[in-house]
């Protein structure tokens, strides 16, 4: 079967050539022109950089017009696109480039770390330039061919590249657009979520273009700027993480204007019911929550109006996908538990990724008997609604971004004053969770202050990762095998706080 993610833009260009596809500030571009410029850049990639079907091309870009131009240009050539997190350091970018086997990095002048990372990885970096539109291109690909690689970390080791196929991505965008968001052709979507992230990529850009909607790009989120842009551009749909909704509520206190919103979607972290209620009171629209991971393209469940909405849950499985609860402590097989019991959330269906790149053992551990083991602990009620209860792994969700403790710890222990480091998530009113580093100081470093560690960490890791809270302890609670008991650390910290 032939299918291509690039067809999402190509088909809308054919059906709605003169409709506005994207807006950035005063710039507006039609579907026809955006597709022509995409093919023009595809020509540059092919003729100047030798990009061919099956090659891997990395993309480091903020929410600007060049993101879709580059993204779909790579896909139109039959190559695989690797969106790179815009907050990574040059060293972290180098790892992604080397691990993915990227032939080229497409970056943006405002992201200097991109060129530095490419230089470290010894591959060329380029900005988007538009040449003569590529003619005679055959866009359709094998539906099961690799399309996108999204990097996600486990709680141990380096980040893993989750390989998504054209079928994964096209189906998730299509189901999101029509079954979940019930998109209309005259909808205007605000894209404040970063496009390098699976949430913004699938649920805004790909879903929006699939339905022929207009996407308003916001390169840097700010509550006041977002509300102003929503009003000026008559935005009807918005997808965001909880911190964005909190910022919009703050902005609405001093700005009485309201956009013509009809759909609000939330993901990335649990949205407190109190915030959901305040959003409904302020904007007159119910926020519908969903759940997913990079490995599920990302949407796996959603509060769907046709089925029903339950605040505090992440809804029911999307069309064509099964979600169940399995025993979390049985790892070599899937043992489902009765309705209402907690366990590990497992998922199967068209949304589940192909594999972890170059990591067959990690793939085998995650994909068991046809199910993907999410690592999240949840339950399903008698009506089929899924609730997230806990995380099997030590993942921290800060402002909708995943922070993996092991990665932070590995950087912290490079500081000469740090003997040991254990990173945990602590509750935070705005970000949901904050990164907290528990540190055992080296013997000769007793005069070191927490602020010194924080400043150093900020300079040596991505902005969403570094700990804003640092506490010094004499020692760590250890299990029988010598493993740090992080839940015990968290409990001790709560006891000290109270």
Cα separation, 154 vs 406, whole angstroms: 8
What digits encode the pLDDT tens for the residues 284-329? 999 999 999 999 999 999 999 999 999 989 999 999 999 999 999 8
How far, CA to CA in Å, does 249 sit from each of 67, 243, 254, 391, 416? 29, 10, 9, 28, 43
Cα separation, 46 vs 133, whole angstroms: 11
- Whole-number pLDDT of residue 157: 61
- Whole-number pLDDT of residue 275: 84
Asked if residues 354 and 168 have their Cβ atoms less than 8 Å apart, the reply is: yes
Instruction: Extract the tokens encoding 93.
Output: 């970018």
- Whole-number pLDDT of residue 482: 46
Maximal CA-CA distance, the chain: 69
How far, CA to CA in Å, does 281 sit from each of 181, 266, 314, 340? 21, 16, 21, 31
- Whole-number pLDDT of residue 95: 97
- The residue length of the chain stands at 498
- Whole-number pLDDT of residue 401: 87
- CA 240 to chain centroid, in Å, comes to 11
| Sequential pLDDT tens for the chain (498 residues) | 899 999 999 999 999 999 999 999 999 999 999 999 999 999 999 999 999 999 999 999 999 999 999 999 999 999 999 999 998 999 999 999 999 999 999 999 999 999 999 999 999 999 999 877 877 667 778 999 999 999 985 444 689 999 999 999 999 999 999 999 999 989 999 999 999 999 999 999 999 999 999 999 999 999 999 999 999 999 999 999 888 998 899 999 999 999 999 999 998 877 778 789 999 999 999 999 999 999 999 999 999 999 999 998 999 999 999 999 999 989 999 999 999 998 999 999 999 999 999 999 999 999 999 999 999 888 999 999 999 876 666 778 898 887 878 788 878 988 999 888 889 999 998 889 999 999 989 878 878 999 999 999 999 999 999 999 999 998 888 654 446 778 788 888 888 877
Convert the chain into a string of H (helix), E (strand) and C (coil): CEECCCHHHHHHHHHCCCCEEEEECCEEEEHHHHHHHHHHHHHHHHHHHCCCCCCEEEECCCCCCHHHHHHHHHHHCCCEEEECCCCCCHHHHHHHHHHHCCCEEECCCCCHHHHHHHHHHCCCEECCCCCCCCCCCCCCEECCCEEEEEEECCCCCCCEEEEEEHHHHHHHHHHHHHHHCCCCCCCEEEECCCCCCHHHHHHHHHHHHHCCCEEEECCCCCHHHHHHHHHHCCCCEEEECHHHHHHHHHHHCCCCCCCCCCEEEECCCCCCHHHHHHHHHHHCCCEEEEEECHHHCCEEEECCCCCCCCCCCCCEECCCEEEEEECCCCCCCCCECCCCCCEEEEEEECCCCCEECCCHHHHHHHEECCEEEEEEEEEECCCCCEEEEEECCCCEEECCEEECHHHHHHHHCCCCCEEEEEEEEEEECCCEEEEEEEEEECCCCCCCCHHHHHHHHHHHCCCCCCCCEEEECCCCCECCCCCECHHHHHHHHHHHHC
- Whole-number pLDDT of residue 391: 66
Instruction: Extract the tokens encoding 385.
Output: 């609604």
Q: Which of 181, 434, 215, 477 is nearest to 318 (CA)?
A: 181
- Measured over the CA atoms of residue 302, residue 307, residue 313 and residue 316, the dihedral's sign is negative
């Amino acid at each position: 079967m032939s299918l291509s993610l690039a067809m999402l833009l190509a088909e809308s260009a054919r059906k709605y050539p003169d409709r506005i596809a994207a807006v950035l500030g005063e710039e507006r571009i039609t579907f026809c022109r955006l597709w022509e410029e995409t093919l023009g850049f595809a020509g540059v990639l092919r003729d100047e950089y030798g990009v061919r079907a099956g090659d891997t091309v990395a993309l480091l870009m903020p929410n600007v017009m060049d993101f879709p131009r580059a993204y779909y240009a790579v896909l139109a050539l039959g190559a695989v696109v690797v969106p790179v997190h815009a907050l990574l350091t040059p060293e972290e970018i180098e790892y992604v480039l080397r691990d993915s086997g990227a032939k080229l990095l497409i970056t943006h002048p405002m992201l200097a770390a991109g060129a530095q990372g490419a230089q470290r990885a010894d591959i060329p970096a380029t900005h988007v330039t538009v040449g003569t539109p590529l003619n005679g291109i055959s866009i359709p690909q094998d539906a099961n061919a690799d399309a996108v690689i999204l990097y996600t970390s486990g709680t141990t080791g380096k980040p893993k590249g989750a390989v998504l196929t054209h079928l994964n991505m096209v189906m998730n965008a299509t189901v999101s657009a029509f079954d979940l968001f019930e998109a209309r052709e005259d909808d205007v979507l605000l894209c404040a979520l970063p496009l390098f992230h699976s949430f913004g990529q699938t649920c805004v850009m790909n879903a929006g273009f699939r339905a022929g909607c207009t996407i308003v790009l916001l390169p840097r989120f700010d509550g006041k700027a977002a509300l102003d842009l929503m009003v000026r551009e008559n935005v009807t749909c918005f997808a965001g993480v909880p911190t964005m909704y909190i910022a919009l509520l703050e902005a609405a206190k001093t700005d009485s204007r309201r956009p013509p919103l009809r759909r609000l979607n939330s993901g990335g972290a649990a949205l407190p019911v109190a915030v959901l209620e305040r959003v409904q009171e302020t904007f007159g629209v119910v926020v519908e929550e969903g759940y997913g991971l990079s490995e599920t393209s990302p949407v796996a469940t959603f509060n769907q109006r046709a089925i029903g909405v339950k605040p505090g849950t992440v809804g029911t499985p999307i069309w064509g996908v099964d979600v169940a609860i399995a025993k979390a402590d049985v790892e070599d097989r899937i043992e489902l538990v009765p309705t209402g019991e907690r366990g590990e959330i497992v998922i199967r269906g068209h949304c589940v990724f192909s594999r972890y790149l170059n990591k067959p053992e990690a793939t085998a551990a995650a994909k068991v008997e046809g199910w993907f083991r999410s690592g999240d602990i949840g339950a399903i009620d008698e009506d089929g609604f899924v609730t997230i209860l806990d995380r099997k792994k030590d993942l921290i969700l800060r402002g909708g971004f995943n922070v993996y403790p092991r990665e932070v710890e590995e950087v912290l222990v490079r500081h000469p004053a740090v003997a040991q480091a254990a990173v945990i998530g602590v509750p935070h009113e705005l970000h949901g969770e904050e990164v907290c580093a528990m540190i055992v100081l080296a013997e000769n470093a007793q005069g070191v202050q927490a602020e010194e560690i924080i400043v150093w960490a900020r300079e040596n890791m991505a902005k969403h990762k570094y700990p804003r809270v640092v506490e010094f302890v004499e020692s760590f609670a250890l299990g029988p095998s010598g493993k740090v008991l992080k839940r015990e650390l968290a409990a001790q910290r709560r006891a000290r706080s109270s």
